[in-house]
C-alpha cells in the first residue's frame, strides 16, 4: 500500500490506481508538451525561474520514519509572482511527489521533467499571477543523497539511531522540493515529528531538551538559501558555553565537546569586534557521528561538526572559527552561484584566521597560514592537468558543483584577500569589509558584482590601482599571481631545526617537542623526506605514538607516510581509521595513497567494502570515482 507523506495513513485502494496513473502521466508532459529547459542567468544548477515565481517562505511539516528510512512531508511555499506567471518551478531529485495543492485546492497541473545526473528534475506547477501559496506532499526515497541514516552501532553511544542531512551544494532537493540555488533565499517554519526519546534540531531556533512528545517546532526568521537547510535527529544533550553559544552532542561526547569548544564565546565576540554584529541570535555547534563527510557545515545558528576535531587540547578549533566566520561570509552575504563559491570560502578562511589571531595570537595564526599555503600548493599540483579549475571564478555548468570545492576557493581566495590587506593596509581593508558585510547583508553576490564593489568602495574608482594589483589575473587567471604575500612562521622554523637534527642522528625521543601543538606536528610530518627507512619509521612511532594517536589530523598525515614507506605496523590502524571516520578530507588522500602503493587497488577496495556503509554519499561519490 502507499503511505501518506504526512500522517502515514494508507491511501484507500480505490485511489491507488488513479495515484499511480497520475504520477506516470506527470513524469514527462507539461503545458507546452515538455518541461521547459529555460534557465535564467546565474541559475546554472537549478531549474527555478524566479523572475516568474519565487519562493519567499516555507512552512515544512514532516515525519521522520527510521524504520523505513523515509521523511514524509509537506512543503508549503508562500510565493511571489510576476504579472504573467503561469508556473512555479522547483528542483527535486529522487523524491516521490504525491499531491500538489495551489491556494488550498488540489491540482493535477504539475509535471516532472527529464532526469539529469546532477540536477535531478524540474517540478513545474501550474499557477496564476494571483497564486499565494503552493503545497507539495512528498516522500524521500533511498536516493536521498543528503540524508544519512545511522544504526545505533554507528553512533558514539550505540543506543539509538541517528539521522543527519548535508545539503550543500545541491542536495537539498533530495529531501525537500525547493528552488535549490544559493541565489534564492527564503525564511521558514517547521514542525517535525520524530520517535519519542530523540531530539530534532534544525538550522533554526532549537530546543535544548528532548521533548517527550517527539514533536519539535522551528523558526528561521532570516532568509537563507536552500543549501543551508539542515536537520539532525538523535539522542542528544546540550551544554551552554556562553551567553549565546552552546554545544549539542551524544551524551558520551557532550562533556568533551563542551571542553574543546570553551573558547567559542570568545571567538564570537572577537568576530563581532572585527566585522560587525552577529545577526543570527544564537551560535551553537552540533557534534555529529564520525560519518559526517565534512569538517563542518555552516548551517545558520547550528554548525554541524565532525567529532574528528575533538583532539582533547583545543588545537583543532580553527574549524569552529571557520564555521562561525561563515555567519558573515556565506550565510549573510552569499555566493549567487557555485561558480562564485570562492566568495564564500576565501573570505571565510581569511576571517577565520583573523579570529584565531585575535584569540590565540599572531604566531598561532601564522602557523595556520603556512599550513594553508602548503595545502594550496598541493592542490595546484593536483590540478596541473585542469588549469581552468585553478581560477577563482569557476565554470561548472554541466558539472557537479562539488567539483569546485577545492583549496582553490579556500586558500587561493584567502591569498587574494591577504594581498589586498597587505597593499591597502589592515585598517583600511577592515573598514571596507565591515561596509561590505553591512551593505550586502542577506543578499547574494556574483564575482562580477564583488569586483565592481571592490573597485568603487576599496579603490575609490582608481582603475590604475585595480590593474596594478592584478585583480583580474587573481580572479580569472590560472595559478597564483606573483604579487602574492609570502607567509612564514618562526615557530615552524624551530620544527624544521628539530627535524634536521633528527635526520642527522639525534634520537627522536630527545627532540624538543614539549610545547608542540597539532600544527607543529603537521608541519613536521609534511616536511619529512618522502622516503624513510623502516628503522626511522619505528623510531618516530616509538617516540611519539603516531600510529595510535587519537588526533585525526596527525593520524592522517602519519598514515600517508606509513603507506608510502610500507610501514606494516600501521596497517591495521589505517584500516580501522578508514572504517570509523567518514570525513572526506582524510579519506581521499589515504585511499589515493593506497592506490598509488598498489596498482591493483585491491587493498583499497577491500577496506572500502568494509567501510562504505559508514560513509555519507558525499564521500562515497568521490571514492567511487577514485576506485573506478
471-528 residue pLDDT tens: 999 999 999 999 999 999 999 999 999 999 999 999 999 999 999 999 999 999 999 9
Burial of 144 (0-12, 13-18, 19+ CB in 10 A): buried
Q: Which three cell numbers stand for residue 148?
A: 544519512
pLDDT, position 2: 27
Q: Are 165 and 190 in contact (CB under 8 A)?
A: no
- In angstroms, the CA 456 to CA 453 distance is 5
pLDDT, position 9: 29
Report CA 582 to chain centroid distance, whole Å: 14
pLDDT bucket at 15, cuts 50 / 70 / 90: very low
- In angstroms, the CA 628 to CA 622 distance is 10
- In angstroms, the CA 70 to CA 48 distance is 25
Three-state DSSP state, 329: strand
Q: Which three cell numbers stand for residue 241?
A: 558555553
Closest Cα to residue 587, out of 624, 562, 550, 545?
Answer: 624
Between the alpha carbon of residue 559 and those of residues 374, 476, 582, the distances in Å are 18, 36, 16
* Residue 583 clears pLDDT 50, i.e. is over it: yes
Q: Are 184 and 310 in contact (CB under 8 A)?
A: no
State phi, psi for 237 to the nearest 5 degrees. Answer: -125, 160
- In angstroms, the CA 495 to CA 472 distance is 37
Mean pLDDT of 531-551: 96
State phi, psi for 245 to the nearest 5 degrees. Answer: -135, 150
pLDDT bucket at 8, cuts 50 / 70 / 90: very low
Of 410, 432, 436, 615, the active-site residue reads: 410
| Long-range contacts (CB closer than 8 Å, 24 or more residues apart) made by 271-274 | 271/321, 271/324, 271/325, 271/327, 271/328, 271/351, 271/355, 273/358, 274/351, 274/354, 274/355, 274/358, 274/430
* Residue 617 clears pLDDT 60, i.e. is over it: yes
Burial 419-439 (b: 16+ CB within 10 A, else e): bbbeebeeeebeebbeebbee
Active site residue 186: no
pLDDT, position 26: 54
Q: Which three cell numbers stand for residue 367?
A: 602557523
CB-based contacts of 532: which residues, under 8 Å, 6+ apart?
Answer: 561, 565
Specify the residue for cell string 531549474: 47
Q: Are 535 and 567 in contact (CB under 8 A)?
A: no
- In angstroms, the CA 274 to CA 82 distance is 40
Cis peptide before 262 (omega within 30 of 0): no
Mean pLDDT of 536-555: 97
- In angstroms, the CA 190 to CA 97 distance is 19
Q: How many CB atoms lie within 10 A of CB 457?
A: 14
pLDDT, position 41: 53
What proportions of the chain, in percent to the nearest 5, are helix, strand and coil? Answer: 40, 20, 40
* Residue 35 clears pLDDT 70, i.e. is over it: no
Closest Cα to residue 416, out of 340, 321, 350?
Answer: 350
Report CA 566 to chain centroid distance, whole Å: 34
- In angstroms, the CA 131 to CA 80 distance is 8
Helix (H) or strand (E) holding 364: helix 362-382
Q: Any bridge partners for residue 65, and if so which? A: 70
pLDDT, position 59: 98
pLDDT bucket at 600, cuts 50 / 70 / 90: confident
pLDDT bucket at 561, cuts 50 / 70 / 90: very high
- In angstroms, the CA 51 to CA 82 distance is 7
Residues in the chain: 628
State phi, psi for 341 to the nearest 5 degrees. Answer: -55, -30
* Residue 570 clears pLDDT 50, i.e. is over it: yes
- In angstroms, the CA 448 to CA 432 distance is 17
Closest Cα to residue 586, out of 433, 507, 6, 594?
Answer: 594
Mean pLDDT of 399-419: 96
State phi, psi for 302 to the nearest 5 degrees. Answer: -150, 90
Q: Are 328 and 435 in contact (CB under 8 A)?
A: no
* Residue 143 clears pLDDT 70, i.e. is over it: yes
Q: How many CB atoms lie within 10 A of CB 310?
A: 22
Closest Cα to residue 62, out of 188, 209, 173, 215?
Answer: 215
pLDDT, position 43: 84
395 in the Ramachandran plot: left (φ > 0), alpha (ψ -120 to 50) or beta? beta
Rounded CA Rg of the chain = 25
Closest Cα to residue 473, out of 404, 408, 416?
Answer: 416
pLDDT bucket at 372, cuts 50 / 70 / 90: very high
Active site residue 567: no
Q: Are 339 and 181 in contact (CB under 8 A)?
A: no
* Residue 21 clears pLDDT 90, i.e. is over it: no
Alpha helices in 171-263 (DSSP H): 254-260
* Residue 6 clears pLDDT 50, i.e. is over it: no
pLDDT bucket at 42, cuts 50 / 70 / 90: low
- In angstroms, the CA 232 to CA 225 distance is 18
* Residue 27 clears pLDDT 80, i.e. is over it: no
- In angstroms, the CA 506 to CA 428 distance is 48
Of 145, 269, 323, 421, the active-site residue reads: 323
233-248 residue pLDDT tens: 999 999 999 999 999 9
Average per-residue pLDDT in the chain? 92
* Residue 439 clears pLDDT 90, i.e. is over it: yes
pLDDT, position 154: 94
pLDDT bucket at 599, cuts 50 / 70 / 90: confident
Q: Any bridge partners for residue 111, and if so which? A: 124
Helix (H) or strand (E) holding 246: strand 245-249
Amino acid at each position: 500500500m502507499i503511505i501518506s507523506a504526512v500522517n502515514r495513513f494508507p491511501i484507500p485502494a480505490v485511489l491507488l490506481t488513479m495515484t499511480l496513473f497520475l504520477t506516470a502521466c506527470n513524469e514527462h508532459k507539461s503545458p507546452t508538451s515538455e518541461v521547459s529547459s529555460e534557465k535564467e542567468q546565474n541559475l546554472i544548477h537549478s531549474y527555478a525561474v524566479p523572475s516568474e515565481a519565487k519562493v519567499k517562505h516555507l512552512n515544512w511539516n514532516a515525519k521522520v520514519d527510521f524504520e523505513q528510512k523515509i521523511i514524509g512531508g509537506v512543503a508549503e511555499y508562500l510565493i511571489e509572482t510576476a504579472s504573467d506567471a503561469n508556473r512555479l518551478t522547483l528542483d527535486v531529485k529522487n523524491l516521490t511527489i504525491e499531491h500538489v495543492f495551489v491556494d488550498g485546492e488540489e491540482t493535477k497541473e504539475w509535471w516532472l521533467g527529464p532526469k539529469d545526473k546532477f540536477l535531478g528534475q524540474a517540478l513545474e506547477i501550474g499557477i496564476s499571477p494571483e497564486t499565494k501559496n503552493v503545497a507539495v506532499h512528498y516522500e524521500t526515497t533511498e536516493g536521498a543523497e543528503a540524508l544519512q541514516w545511522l544504526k545505533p552501532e554507528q553512533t558514539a553511544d550505540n543506543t539509538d539511531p541517528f539521522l543527519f542531512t548535508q545539503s550543500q551544494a545541491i542536495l537539498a532537493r533530495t529531501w525537500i522540493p525547493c528552488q535549490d540555488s544559493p541565489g534564492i533565499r527564503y525564511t521558514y517554519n517547521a514542525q517535525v515529528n520524530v520517535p519519542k526519546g530523540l531530539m530534532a534540531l534544525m538550522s533554526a531556533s532549537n530546543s535544548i531538551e528532548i521533548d517527550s512528545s517527539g514533536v519539535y517546532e522551528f523558526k528561521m526568521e532570516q532568509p537563507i538559501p536552500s543549501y543551508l537547510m539542515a536537520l539532525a535527529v538523535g539522542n542528544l544533550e546540550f551544554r551552554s558555553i556562553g551567553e549565546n553559544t552552546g554545544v549539542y552532542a551524544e551524551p558520551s561526547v557532550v562533556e568533551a565537546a563542551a571542553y574543546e569548544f570553551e573558547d567559542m564565546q570568545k571567538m564570537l565576540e572577537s568576530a563581532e569586534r572585527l566585522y560587525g554584529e552577529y545577526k543570527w541570535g544564537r551560535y551553537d555547534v552540533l557534534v555529529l557521528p564520525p560519518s559526517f563527510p565534512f569538517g563542518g557545515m555552516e548551517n545558520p545558528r547550528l554548525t554541524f561538526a565532525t567529532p574528528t576535531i575533538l583532539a582533547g587540547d583545543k588545537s583543532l578549533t580553527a574549524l569552529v572559527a571557520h564555521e562561525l566566520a561563515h555567519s558573515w561570509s556565506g550565510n549573510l552575504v552569499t555566493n549567487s552561484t557555485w561558480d562564485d563559491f570562492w566568495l564564500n570560502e576565501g573570505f571565510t578562511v581569511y576571517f577565520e584566521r583573523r579570529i584565531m589571531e585575535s584569540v590565540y595570537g599572531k604566531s598561532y595564526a601564522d602557523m595556520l597560514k603556512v599550513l594553508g599555503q602548503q595545502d594550496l600548493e598541493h592542490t595546484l599540483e593536483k590540478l596541473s592537468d585542469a588549469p581552468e579549475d585553478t581560477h577563482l571564478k569557476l565554470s561548472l555548468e554541466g558539472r557537479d558543483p562539488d567539483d569546485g570545492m577545492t583549496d582553490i576557493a579556500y586558500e587561493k581566495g584567502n591569498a587574494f584577500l591577504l594581498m589586498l590587506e597587505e597593499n591597502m593596509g589592515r585598517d583600511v581593508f577592515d573598514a571596507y569589509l565591515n561596509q561590505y558585510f553591512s551593505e550586502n547583508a542577506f543578499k547574494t553576490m556574483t564575482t562580477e558584482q564583488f569586483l565592481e564593489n571592490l573597485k568603487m568602495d576599496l579603490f575609490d574608482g582608481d582603475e590604475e590601482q585595480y590593474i596594478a594589483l592584478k585583480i583580474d589575473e587573481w580572479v580569472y587567471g590560472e595559478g597564483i599571481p606573483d604579487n602574492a604575500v609570502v607567509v612564514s612562521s618562526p615557530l615552524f622554523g624551530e620544527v624544521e631545526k628539530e627535524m634536521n637534527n633528527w635526520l642527522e642522528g639525534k634520537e627522536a625521543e630527545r627532540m624538543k617537542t614539549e610545547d608542540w601543538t597539532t600544527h607543529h606536528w603537521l608541519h613536521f610530518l609534511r616536511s619529512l623526506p618522502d622516503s624513510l627507512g623502516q628503522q626511522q619509521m619505528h623510531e618516530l612511532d616509538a617516540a611519539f605514538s603516531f600510529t595510535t594517536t587519537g588526533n585525526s589530523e596527525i593520524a592522517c598525515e602519519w598514515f600517508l607516510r606509513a603507506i608510502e614507506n610500507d610501514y606494516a605496523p600501521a596497517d591495521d590502524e589505517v584500516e580501522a581509521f578508514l572504517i570509523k571516520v567518514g570525513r572526506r578530507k582524510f579519506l581521499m588522500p589515504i585511499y589515493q595513497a593506497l592506490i598509488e602503493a598498489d596498482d591493483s587497488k585491491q587493498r583499497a577496495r577491500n577496506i572500502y567494502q568494509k567501510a562504505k556503509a559508514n560513509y555519507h554519499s558525499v564521500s562515497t561519490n568521490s571514492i567511487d570515482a577514485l576506485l573506478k
